Amino acid sequence: MTPTDERPRRRLSEAQEAEIRALREVSHPTRRATVPALEEILYEPLPVLDHGFVRVIDYMGDDAAIVQAARVSYGRGTRQARGDAGLIDYLMRHRHTTPFEMCEIKYHVKLPIFVARQWIRHRTANVNEYSARYSVLDREFYIPAPEHLAAQSTANRQGRGGVLGGDEAARVLQILKEDAARCYAHYEEMLNEREDGTPIDPARTGLARELARMNLPLNIYTQWYWKCDLHNLFHFISLRADPHAQYEIRAYAEVLLDTVRRWVPVACAAFENHVMAGARLSGAALAVVRRMLAGETVTREEAGLSRREWAELMILLGREAAESA
């Protein structure tokens, strides 16, 4: 059994590649709104991590659909790009979310199981996952690049600290590869079935697939179809594309964000401005800002903020070096 980096790997099976070619060769006349920039990448696998991908499978609506829903009009919004952009910006700024729910998109995602377990916590989408009870999982495992092997953070229980050194990182990578190869070899042995579907020992009956899968590690890849409306997709991206999110799921969120830029560029620009690059303040934090603007010197104790909220506020204001203690 060889580790994942010692043989060529395909992000898609031959059958999937053939299906994509067939789908992209066909076009359908429609009266529905379509988005040329998104049509360009429809069905195409966008690489993520070492073996993963994101594919746009289908979508409904565009920027004009958001405007149409907000105005409950019969046409395509105001037909004035400037007016439509202003309305979308207003909706995003004031958190009027339902017009964004009128747009939906469906993805095919290939991802490590431990990333999928984070992803599935977002319960506002429709999901259908590859079944390891029905089919045999591919021999594909996520092996991090050395620059992504970091020690446990001392300040954040769910975050990473400094990058591991050369020898230590090499040992971790060796463990990951050996464990993955060993677990998959035992998986095949219990199934009595090779990766290509042929029996290992024709005289032996294999264990049921639903049981044989239980020793597989969390870095093996799974796949699913994931359908979400635009409002909830924005919420997912706001959390998972954040710099504090785990790198592996952030890599997927950044690809999703790129597809949204193609799909609804006006709505996405408003989202990136007001949500990704914006900030929300508590009443107490806002009071501190107002006092500072009035020329007052404000201390954390006077403001009544916790050390964490005070530090976060100072970072937002660009004053962390002098006032975050």
> Would you call 9 a catalytic residue per the annotation?
no
Q: Token pair 């898609």 is at which residue?
A: 12
Q: How far is the C-alpha of 325 from the C-alpha of 317, rounded, in Å? A: 14
- Beta strand 160-163 pairing with 221-229: unpaired
H or E element, residue 310: helix 307-316
Question: How many CA within 13 A on the CB side of residue 67?
Answer: 21
Catalytic residue among 240, 280, 291, 307: 240
- Select from 256, 226, 259 the least CA-distant residue to 240: 256
- Select from 233, 244, 177 the least CA-distant residue to 61: 233
Q: How far is the C-alpha of 76 from the C-alpha of 68, rounded, in Å? A: 6
246, 118 Cβ separation under 8 angstroms: yes
Q: Token pair 């059994």 is at which residue?
A: 1
CA angle 193, 190, 52 (to 5 degrees): 65
35, 62 Cβ separation under 8 angstroms: yes
The residues with which 53 forms a beta bridge, in sequence order, are 47, 110
177, 132 Cβ separation under 8 angstroms: no
For the annotated catalytic residues, the residue numbers are 240
